[in-house]
C-alpha cells in the first residue's frame, strides 16, 4: 500500500500519472486484455477469462455506509480502506484510490490484471473492482487477523494495512511455530509467482503486505508494483527503481536491473523481521538508519541474541539457527549467491513442521519423524 523509491522517501508530484480518461479507456480493456498466459499461470482455474466482478460505485458506497468513518480500516499510499458488506452478507475490504495519491491508474490496472489471472491459496483474493467514472476501487476478501506487521511490531505501527482486522489493542506477539508457518506460507505465494509463465516479480514484499487469515494463514497482497520477469535468454528486466526502503535488493536499487533474486532478497529481510522482531529500517541512536539485513551476520557468536525478546526464550535454538541460515543466504549481496525461492520453501516447510513445545519437552523441538537436519538449499 505505502511505497516509495528504494533510494529513499518519495516525493509526491503534482501531476497525476495518468489522466482519468486514460485510466477509464484502459480499464475498459480489462476483460479482453491478457498480459499473462492464463492457462499456464493458473493451472487450477480452467479458464482464461478475468474472474473479478465489476461493481458500480453506488453499491460500494452502500456497502460501507457511504464510507463512514467507523468503517475505516486504514490509510496508505493508495488511499483509504474500508470494511464493507456486499450481497449475501459477505464481509470485504474496499480500497479506494486517492486521486491525488502516489499510486495511480497504472498500479490499479496492474493489480486487477495480476489478481484476476493469478490464483493461489497464499495470494489474497480479489473479488472485484470499480472503475465508475473517475472512481477507482478494489474489493478484496477480508483478512480478519490483519497484517504480519500488525503482530510483529505491536504498538509501533502508524498505518493499518488494507484487508486488516478492526483495530484492537493488546494483540499478542506471535509464537515460534506461528512465525515459521507464516514464513513458509509467504514463501509459497512467492514461489507461485516465480513459477508462472512468464514469471512475475512481486517487487514489494514486506511485512505489511503479508496478510493473515484464520489460523494465521499468510497471503501476499498489494500487486500494483508487480512486473513480468525476464524470459528466454534475458537475465533481467530494466525498470524504474520502486519498492520500499530497506527491502530492496542492493543491485536493483543501484542499477534498476530487476530479477527473481530481487524478491528473494526482500523475502530474506522479511524473514529476519520474523525472527528478530525488529523492523527492516530503524533509526539509530547515533543518527542515521540501522539496516537489519547488513550487520547482523558479522558475529556468529551473537546469533543467540538475535531472537525476538518477545519470544521469551520459547524457541528451538537449532531451528532458530537454521532459520537464520536461510535468511542469511537470501540477503547475500551477490544475487547469484542467493537461493531460488523453491529451495527456501523446502527449508521453511521443514522448519514449520517441527513443532516446538517448551512446556512438555523443556524447550526441546518435537516433530513427526523426518530428516535429522533441514534440507540443504541450492545456491541458484
Q: Which three cell numbers stand for residue 86?
A: 456486499
C-alpha cell of 378? 541450492
Strand partners, 90: 86
Are the beta carbons of 211 and 141 closer than 8 angstroms?
A: no
Residues with a catalytic annotation lie at 204
Per the domain annotation, does 370 fall within a domain? Answer: no
Q: 34-38, 122-126, 149-153, 180-184: which range is least confident on average?
A: 34-38
Domain count, the chain: 2
> Which residues are CB-contacts of 282 (< 8 A; sequence separation ≥ 6)?
289, 290, 292
- Assign 88 a pLDDT band (cuts: 50, 70, 90): confident
In contact, 137 and 97? CB cutoff 8 Å: yes
Note down the domain range covering 240.
Answer: 143-164+171-357
pLDDT tens digits, one per residue of 167-219: 444 456 799 999 999 999 999 999 999 999 899 999 989 998 999 999 999 99
Instruction: Give the pLDDT of residue 280.
Output: 81
User: Based on the domain organization, do 250 and 276 belong to the same domain?
Assistant: yes
Q: Are residues 89 and 64 part of one domain?
A: yes
SS3 96: strand
What confidence category does residue 288 fall into, taking pLDDT thresholds of 50, 70 and 90? low
Whether residue 52 has pLDDT greater than 90: no
Domain match, 212 and 300 both: yes
Residue 71 and residue 185 in one domain:
no
157/174 Cα distance (integer angstroms)? 16
314 CB neighbour count, 10 Å cutoff:
15
Are residues 222 and 326 both part of a single domain? yes
Which grid cell sits at 30? 480489462
Residue 95 counted as an annotated binding residue: yes
* Percentage of the residues of the chain whose pLDDT score is greater than 70: 67
- Which three-class secondary structure state does DSSP give residue 353? helix
- CA torsion angle for 342, 343, 345, 348 (degrees, to 10)? -170
Measure the CA–CA gap between 336 and 326, rounded to whole angstroms.
Answer: 15
Q: Are residues 249 and 350 in the same domain?
A: yes
Residue 83 is part of a domain; what is its CATH number? Answer: 3.30.200.20
Rg (CA), the chain: 21
Q: What pLDDT is stored for residue 38 in this prediction?
A: 37
Amino acid at each position: 500500500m505505502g511505497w516509495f523509491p528504494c533510494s529513499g522517501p518519495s516525493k509526491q508530484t503534482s501531476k497525476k500519472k495518468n489522466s482519468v480518461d486514460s485510466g477509464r479507456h484502459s480499464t475498459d480493456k480489462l476483460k479482453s486484455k491478457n498480459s499473462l498466459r492464463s492457462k499456464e499461470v493458473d493451472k487450477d482455474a480452467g479458464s482464461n477469462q478475468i474472474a473479478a466482478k465489476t461493481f458500480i460505485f453506488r453499491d460500494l458506497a452502500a456497502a460501507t455506509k457511504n464510507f463512514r468513518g467507523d468503517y475505516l480500516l486504514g490509510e496508505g499510499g493508495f488511499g483509504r480502506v474500508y470494511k464493507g458488506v456486499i450481497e449475501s452478507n459477505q464481509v470485504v475490504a474496499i480500497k479506494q484510490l486517492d486521486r491525488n495519491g502516489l499510486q495511480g491508474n497504472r498500479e490499479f490496472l496492474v493489480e486487477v490484471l495480476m489478481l484476476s489471472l493469478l490464483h493461489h491459496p497464499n495470494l489474497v483474493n480479489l473479488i472485484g473492482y470499480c472503475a465508475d467514472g473517475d472512481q477507482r476501487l478494489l474489493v478484496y476478501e477480508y483478512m480478519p487477523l490483519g497484517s504480519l506487521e500488525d503482530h510483529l511490531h505491536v504498538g509501533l505501527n502508524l498505518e493499518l494495512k488494507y484487508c486488516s482486522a478492526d483495530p484492537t489493542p493488546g494483540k499478542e506477539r506471535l509464537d515460534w511455530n506461528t512465525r515459521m508457518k507464516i514464513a513458509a506460507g509467504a514463501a509459497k505465494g512467492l514461489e507461485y509467482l516465480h513459477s508462472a509463465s512468464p514469471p512475475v516479480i512481486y517487487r514489494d514484499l514486506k511485512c505489511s503486505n503479508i496478510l493473515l487469515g484464520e489460523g494465521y494463514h499468510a497471503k501476499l497482497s498489494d500487486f500494483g508494483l508487480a512486473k513480468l520477469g525476464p524470459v528466454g535468454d534475458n537475465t533481467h528486466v530494466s525498470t524504474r527503481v520502486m519498492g520500499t526502503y530497506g527491502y530492496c535488493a542492493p543491485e536493483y536499487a543501484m542499477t534498476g536491473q530487476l530479477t527473481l533474486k530481487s524478491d528473494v532478497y526482500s523475502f530474506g529481510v522479511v524473514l529476519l523481521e520474523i525472527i528478530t522482531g525488529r523492523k527492516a529500517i530503524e533509526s539509530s541512536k547515533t543518527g542515521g538508519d540501522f539496516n537489519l539485513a547488513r550487520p547482523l551476520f558479522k558475529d556468529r557468536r551473537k546469533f543467540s541474541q538475535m531472537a525476538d525478546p518477545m519470544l521469551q526464550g520459547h524457541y528451538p535454538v537449532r531451528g532458530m539457527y537454521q532459520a537464520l541460515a536461510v535468511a542469511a543466504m537470501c540477503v547475500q549481496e551477490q544475487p547469484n549467491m542467493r537461493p531460488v525461492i523453491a529451495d527456501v520453501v523446502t527449508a521453511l516447510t521443514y522448519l514449520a513442521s517441527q513443532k516446538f513445545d517448551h512446556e512438555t519437552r523443556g524447550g526441546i523441538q518435537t516433530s513427526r519423524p523426518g530428516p535429522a537436519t533441514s534440507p540443504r538449499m541450492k545456491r541458484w
